[in-house]
């Protein structure tokens, strides 16, 4: 599930996301559906600045291949540590 309700922006709309979830919101939705959440893991936190910049500041509705490659190179470098 997309995390960080405050991050919802144009890339989410392009990808068909209806909303973003906080851990509490996700737990409540699961419980309402009769499910039990054992653990909520947040991932791709390193991508938050790029998502915020594209969605909130630049309001982009497309993803450039060069930008995706640059982000992947940066993330790969960071995650090696």
List the chain pLDDT tens, one digit each, 81 residues.
Answer: 788 888 888 888 888 888 888 999 999 999 999 999 999 888 777 778 878 888 888 888 777 777 667 766 766 666 666
Query: What φ, ψ does residue 21 adopt, rounded to 5°?
Result: -115, 145
- Write down the pTM of the prediction: 0.62
Burial category of 5 from C-beta neighbours within 10 Å (exposed 0-12, middle 13-18, buried 19 and up)? exposed
Task: Write down the number of H helices and E strands in the chain.
Answer: 4, 0
């Amino acid at each position: 599930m997309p995390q960080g309700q405050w991050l919802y922006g144009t890339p989410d709309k392009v990808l068909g996301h209806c909303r973003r979830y906080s851990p509490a919101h996700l737990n409540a939705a699961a419980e309402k559906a009769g499910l039990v959440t054992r653990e909520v893991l947040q991932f791709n936190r390193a991508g938050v600045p790029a998502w915020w910049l594209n969605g909130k500041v630049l309001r982009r509705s497309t993803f450039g291949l060069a930008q995706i490659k640059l982000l992947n190179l940066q993330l790969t470098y960071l995650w090696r540590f």
